[in-house]
Structure 1
Amino acid sequence: MQKELHVGRLSSRRHWTNVLTRYTVGVGGAAVIGAITLIFAYLLWVVAPILLPADIEAPTEYQLNDREAALMDVSENGEVMFRIGNDGVVEFFSIEDGRGLAAYDLKLDITRAQRVSPLVDTYALLDKDNNLLFIKADYIVNFVDGQRRLSPQLSFPFSNRSIPMGDIEHFDVQLADDDLVIAGVNGGQLALTRYKNTELGYPLPGSSQISLMSTVTAKHVFLGPRNQWIYLLDDAGNIDVLSIKSLQRVTRLYQGSLASGDANITAVAPLLGRYSLITGDDRGRIVQWSALVNADETRFAAIRSFDVESPVVQLVTEPRRKGFLSLADNGELSLLYPTSGRLLDQRMSDLTAATPIAVAPRSNLLIAPKSDGRVMTYGLDNEHPEISWGALWAKVWYEGYDEPIYSWQSSSADNDFEPKFSLAPLAFGTIKAAFYALLFAVPIALMGAVYTAYFMAPAMRALVKPGIEIMAALPTVILGFLGGLWLAPIIEANLSSVLSIFVFLPIGLFLFALGWSALPDKWINATSGWYGLIVTPLILFSVYLAFLYGPFFENAFFDGDSRAWFLEVLGLNYDQRNALVVGIVMGLAVIPTIFSIAEDAVYAVPDHLVRGSLALGATPWQTLVKVVLLTASPGIFSAVMIGMGRAVGETMIVLMATGNTPLMDFNIFEGMRTFAANIAVELPESEVDSSHYRILFLAALVLFLFTFVINTVAEVVRQRLRQRYGSL
């Protein structure tokens, strides 16, 4: 009779438990994947605008009353157009529909008008008698019956009295803090007037004046940064730079030429901050010249150039950024930005060299009046001109630097600062911090895991393993605090002693091992598995000896000052908060993670593999190397990669235990700045949707992709190791 095999069915409760568990795990896994996808999508959404191209939009035309303009400008909020006529009439117009809002008659014949640098609402007017008058455009906002009303007004920032300038052809005015300087030139004659302790809204104080001859027949005059020097140029490109910190002691800083080959310079303008001049020539080449000043000399370097193909007839700079526009003789407008080295956009126009062009304070509009009363405005969609692949990852030649460098410096106390957004130092710092942390953590964690799982006595393992795993719960802010405020000063004061540990400890352990091997076998076997506890006093004693004899080694090998020796002999600078401190402290944070996973992997190796190897005559060490480690290699590799991910993404320890300086130097005695620490420090202070804000999100995206790629590669390697050694 054939026997039937009956398979028992699961109980209804167990069946539904399994179904619920399966779907719960599935939903949880999908939620994790969805969360990661959403994080990636959000980062990409914030970063995407910096990838969009700039655009000079099609012009909008306004037909105003027929008046020839000496200057045309736009209010800060972009709602009002402001025109100064050659006949002295100052008018305000709505930019929405071109209707007149206010008008003032100064009863002057104006020959030239310009902004008072670096202000955007204060202007200097030169009349036909060479008298200089300052005016200010005010935009008063009122609310009447709940309706917002903007009332433009004209005021005199100092007084309504003009300043006689004498016989001058060109002039420049700059207000740096409370230092107002007026410069006028007539051929080679330069006249300077300085007003100290100047305040808007009050009459000008007493002045100091000087008149001197320049070596060039100046056709262009520009006051330099903070009124420290002055640039004088002629039509041939010859330049004379004078130091005017004190009008009683004017000195020549530089004399030379900014001309390139046989090209003729046709336009010159200073960039924001006035550390650089841009020149355009009749070959369509635009060059940025930066003043390089040091204790020995002052020189000008052509740090970058652009080619717009047609002869340049006018250069117009942005009032609050380093960008500028060029106008070619064929009417082509070009939008450029020096730091990123980009020609952003071009558009044909009917503007000429005589058109008084201006860029709005927010750099979102270009305004150009015509001689027949028409006004043309060009929208500038140019939110993030500072960003390019080269600006983020390549060396950039910044103003005032002798050569191109990698640099991250997102802000400064000066409004004329040139932002430096290189991500290379942050990527380098992230790799450097992770490298030194893993250099400290991986050997200790892996060897400790192998010893704990394979050699340690079970009673001791029951205490050691939970103790190390509890270390993973220590807040990293506490570790960073201890590293920066406690450990860093100790290492700085006892550097030679700390380095001596790497001599005393190996020698001490080696000598102890030799002595231990000479003991009777019954003593060795009786203490098997407790070696870790036995050598603990030896480790502490070796550290004590290192600190005791550290000063002796410092005197014997480092001429009494180890930090000075490293600097003079090896060229290694020493900072108190450095990569050595980060390596030790972050290593302590990473050790529990690597140790726990690796120890579990080694301990999980089947006993029959170990016993079989020993039965075949292999020694315990041979069994460990040939069987246990190979079988556990997928888990050990995973432990190291997870530890690496922890080190790469660590924030608080790096933030508190390093100088947080974005250096590109692998010197273990200097600090670094990582992606994570930089985001933590700067994101709360960044302006939402600014270039700085989006670049911080780009750094987060780079960090996200870096860890994703590393983890993906690690998983592929782990699976291959598992396939190869999992069947042992």
Structure 2
Amino acid sequence: MASYTLPKISDRRRWINVATKRIIGAGGVAVIAAILLIMGYLFWVILPIFESATMERLAVHQGLPIDVLAIDSDDSFETVTLIRANGAVEFRSAATLDVVNQITVSSSSWVEAKRVFPLTDTYVVRDTNDQLSFFRVTHQVRYIDLERSLIQRVERLFEASSFQLPENTEHFDAFRSDEDLRIVARTIDGTIHLVEFEEVEDDFELEFPDENDITGPQGDYYTFFGPRGRFLYDVDRKSGAFRLLLVPSVMRPRIVQTASFANQGEFPTVITPLLGRHSLMVGHDSGMVVQWSLTSSASGSILRPIRSMSFEEPIATLVSEHRRKGFAAISKERTAFLAYTTSNRVLAEIELDKPPQLVAFSPRADRLLTYNGSTLSVIGIENAHPELSWRALWGKVWYEGYEEPIYSWQSSSADTDFEPKFSLTPLLFGTLKAAFYAMIFAIPLAVAGAIYTANFMSAGMRAWVKPGIEIMAALPTVILGFLAGLWLAPIVEDHLTSVLLCFIFLPIGILLFATLWSRLPSRVINSCDGWSAAILIPVLVLLGWLTLSFDQTLANLLFDGDAKSWVYTTVGLEYDQRNALIIGIAMGLAVIPTIFSIAEDAIYGVPQHLVHGSLALGATRWQTLVRVVLLTASPGIFSAIMIGFGRAVGETMIVLMATGNTPIMDLNLFQGMRTFAANIAVEMPESEANSSHFRILFLTALVLFLITFIFNTAAEIVRNRLRTRYGNL
């Protein structure tokens, strides 16, 4: 047998081959490295969400005055503020607790000091003559000769005027809005004295009050204002019985609820309002802390328990944060617990040396101050994202003001009393809903079009159709979204009856036309073989035009004149102009080129000997298509569908512009949704760096990546099985 020796390749060709191999390999490594870097950065941003909170004793200061009524600090924790019974406000260095400033506010001695709700810098003090005075504490940062300095100021309000409490006042509270000042005082005999000063200003005296007395039960009661000063809580500290009063005006209060905070016969030990006072935290000797929140009912807003936490030690003190829904619970066994209501978690704990007389958070909740006699302890807190947990992100959460637990995404609120809501479930639902309706629209058209183009269309027409559809894939989705939102959505709304009936009339019309076409002479049919789709175009245009032209007639005949009203009254579905129907059409058009191109290549690439063999054995063209071609091409068709699904899941601009971006969970075809991708595009520019909102947006990006990864992996597994099963045909 003759032997052959392959000719040697030239050195130039060898170097080109080596260089090409190295470049391709480097490109592959670079792609993998880029993906790993992206994943690494996502995890680097996301992981702090799930870091545990910590509490650490930073300092213990001795030798403080023993007449402190209230403690506070500035925003950056440079100064600790002590309000003393001698009528002075003392400012001390947070680092050393040395006195840096002391301002005498009153010559009278004070017996009680508290904040004016809902302000954090304004205090009301009660002196030995039962007179209330008001002042504001501010910390101003100034730069003098490029040197930073912190200046403390105490400003008497209302021209240093005071309000005389009724005789034998046991408890009082004050509320101030932009214009009004309200005061409530409860006397030993059970009388609740309500006072309102209207149109108050800092530089004018308090005068001409509206006053009213309410008769209440006697006992050790704790009476204070609720949200926006329109509610009044009247609580018996011993039995836990309470009355909730609605106070639209001090002259027209009324009781809306009478109930008890007692938990299975166990009376509360301490009651403290949360930020905004929409909720009250009620502690018990069993260590249980129950959150009671104002929720809607048939008779109006009432208090209702919405969650509970167990600390396993008797609760002695509760104190809430200034800006969040967190709180500290201090047990009778001197353990300080840090907890958060929304995530329903106990975050950290630390042992205290002594039971504190006063407890306060710093404004940023990064310090906890405990005062006991002459000792002040400073506890450092690391607690950046207490509101987040897996349960809060994916489960139902019972938020303040809601009748039941819900899934909700609302990254900002109109009122600082309420907190953002970060449930990812509505966004996941919206992402899958948008992809689902887009695929319902795209798969039949794309796959059926690919089958016809590859098997029945003439070569000349295919040379125009296939490149034309593939060029559609290059159309910017922002244009599709713009057209869908501003042009298509109003047309669909105005002609809803016609649009819905088109999905019925067009298929029926095609079948009727095909039936009539099949009855034509064979000579005519054969002369147009492969071009029947072009002949069908005028038929489709005519059917669509006729349906739109008789829109109102069809609406009168089928939907009592208005399809939107009929759908709402009959089925109970509301109609929103930018809805899932618009998204299905617009995003379906964006996905069709991808599915069509890949599926058509798979079908067209089926070996012709299989087709010819089937036909030679007597099978018809349709039998050959169904039993040979589609089975052989099924891996490619399935891959095309899954790639199209991944394209739909990650779509941004069409969903952003053509839907209402409302994060609701409703399968209603006529309602909108919000997707992961659109949410990131909308909210990322507005999020604060390293905030909970910022990190959650990166978490949604990771979830979106995992969704596409899971579906693509599953698609690859199925495609390989289909190839193994039908690849040997």
Q: TM-score normalised by the shorter chain: which range applies?
A: over 0.9
Task: Pick the aligned partner of 1:207 from 206, 209, 222.
Answer: 209
Task: Pick the aligned partner of 2:192 from 190, 193, 196.
Answer: 190
**Deviation (angstroms), 1:419:** 1.7
**Deviation (angstroms), 1:222:** 2.1
Letter in 1 for 2:447: L
CA deviations on 1:222-254 (whole Å, 9 max, x unpaired) are 211111111111121111111212223222221
Partner-residue secondary structure (3-state), 1:305: strand
Q: Structure 1 vs Structure 2: percent identity of aligned residues?
A: 50
Bigger shift: residues 273-282 or 545-554: 545-554
**Residues 202/12 of structure 1: CA separation in 2 closer, same or farther (3 Å cut):** farther
The corresponding residue for 1:607 is 608
The corresponding residue for 1:530 is 531
Partner-residue secondary structure (3-state), 1:540: helix
CA deviations on 1:577-618 (whole Å, 9 max, x unpaired) are 110110001101111111111111112222222222222222
Letter in 2 for 1:87: N
Letter in 1 for 2:49: I
Pair 1:149-2:152 in alignment: no
Task: Pick the aligned partner of 1:247 from 247, 250, 264.
Answer: 250
CA distance in 2, matches of 1:131, 1:691: 44
Matched residues, number: 725
Partners of 1:197 and 1:205 within 8 A in 2:
no
Listed as ranges, the matches of 1:529-678 within 5 Å are 529-678=530-679
The corresponding residue for 1:712 is 713
**Deviation (angstroms), 1:144:** 3.5
Task: Pick the aligned partner of 1:303 from 306, 319, 322.
Answer: 306
CA RMSD of aligned residues (A): 1.7
Bigger shift: residues 261-270 or 148-157: 148-157
The corresponding residue for 2:680 is 679
CA distance in 2, matches of 1:703, 1:566: 34
The corresponding residue for 1:120 is 120
The corresponding residue for 1:277 is 280
CA deviations on 1:525-574 (whole Å, 9 max, x unpaired) are 11111011011111111112222333233223322222222222212111
CA distance in 2, matches of 1:725, 1:308: 62
Partners of 1:504 and 1:545 within 8 A in 2:
no
CA distance in 1, matches of 2:82, 2:139: 14
The corresponding residue for 2:393 is 392
CA distance in 2, matches of 1:79, 1:553: 74
Pair 1:290-2:289 in alignment: no
**Deviation (angstroms), 1:518:** 0.8
CA distance in 2, matches of 1:298, 1:149: 47
CA distance in 2, matches of 1:216, 1:270: 22
CA distance in 2, matches of 1:229, 1:214: 16
CA distance in 2, matches of 1:679, 1:199: 44
**Deviation (angstroms), 1:388:** 1.2
**Deviation (angstroms), 1:467:** 1.2
Letter in 1 for 2:275: L
Listed as ranges, the matches of 1:684-695 within 5 Å are 684-695=685-696
**Deviation (angstroms), 1:64:** 4.1
**Deviation (angstroms), 1:201:** 5.6
**Deviation (angstroms), 1:431:** 0.4
Partners of 1:64 and 1:98 within 8 A in 2:
no
The two structures have a TM-score, normalised by structure 1, of 0.97
Task: Pick the aligned partner of 2:322 from 319, 323, 330.
Answer: 319
**Deviation (angstroms), 1:129:** 1.4
Task: Pick the aligned partner of 1:220 from 222, 229, 235.
Answer: 222
Partner-residue secondary structure (3-state), 1:358: strand
Letter in 2 for 1:506: P
Letter in 2 for 1:720: R
Partners of 1:74 and 1:367 within 8 A in 2:
no
The corresponding residue for 1:16 is 15
Bigger shift: residues 149-158 or 477-486: 149-158
CA distance in 2, matches of 1:217, 1:291: 24
CA deviations on 1:68-120 (whole Å, 9 max, x unpaired) are 21001111111110001122221101111222110122333221111222222
CA distance in 2, matches of 1:687, 1:335: 25
Partner-residue secondary structure (3-state), 2:549: helix
Partner-residue secondary structure (3-state), 1:400: coil
**Deviation (angstroms), 1:164:** 1.6
CA distance in 2, matches of 1:207, 1:473: 71
Bigger shift: residues 182-191 or 376-385: 182-191
The corresponding residue for 2:362 is 360
Partners of 1:169 and 1:186 within 8 A in 2:
yes
CA deviations on 1:129-183 (whole Å, 9 max, x unpaired) are 1111112222122334432121222222433232222232111222233332222
**Deviation (angstroms), 1:339:** 0.8
Structure 1: runs of 5 or more not aligned = none
Partners of 1:277 and 1:288 within 8 A in 2:
yes
Pair 1:462-2:455 in alignment: no
Letter in 2 for 1:256: A
CA distance in 2, matches of 1:519, 1:54: 80
CA distance in 1, matches of 2:60, 2:557: 82
Q: List 4+ stretches of structure 1 deviating above 6 A.
A: none
Partner-residue secondary structure (3-state), 2:275: coil
Partner-residue secondary structure (3-state), 1:357: strand
Partners of 1:292 and 1:400 within 8 A in 2:
yes
The corresponding residue for 1:5 is 4
CA deviations on 1:490-543 (whole Å, 9 max, x unpaired) are 111111111111221122111111111111112111111101101111111111
The corresponding residue for 2:59 is 60
CA distance in 2, matches of 1:198, 1:8: 102
The corresponding residue for 1:473 is 474
**Deviation (angstroms), 1:199:** 4.3
Partners of 2:244 and 2:302 within 8 A in 1:
no
Partner-residue secondary structure (3-state), 2:550: helix
Partners of 1:184 and 1:191 within 8 A in 2:
yes
**Deviation (angstroms), 1:218:** 5.8
CA distance in 2, matches of 1:202, 1:148: 33
Letter in 1 for 2:67: E
**Deviation (angstroms), 1:200:** 4.6
CA distance in 2, matches of 1:10, 1:625: 48
**Deviation (angstroms), 1:725:** 2.4
Partners of 2:296 and 2:403 within 8 A in 1:
no
Partner-residue secondary structure (3-state), 1:141: strand
Partner-residue secondary structure (3-state), 1:209: strand
CA deviations on 1:614-668 (whole Å, 9 max, x unpaired) are 2222211122112221222222111111111110011111111111111111111
Pair 1:82-2:81 in alignment: yes
CA distance in 1, matches of 2:354, 2:203: 37
**Residues 216/480 of structure 1: CA separation in 2 closer, same or farther (3 Å cut):** farther
Partners of 1:217 and 1:233 within 8 A in 2:
no
The corresponding residue for 2:175 is 174
CA distance in 2, matches of 1:716, 1:298: 55
Partner-residue secondary structure (3-state), 2:75: coil
Letter in 2 for 1:300: L
**Residues 24/196 of structure 1: CA separation in 2 closer, same or farther (3 Å cut):** farther
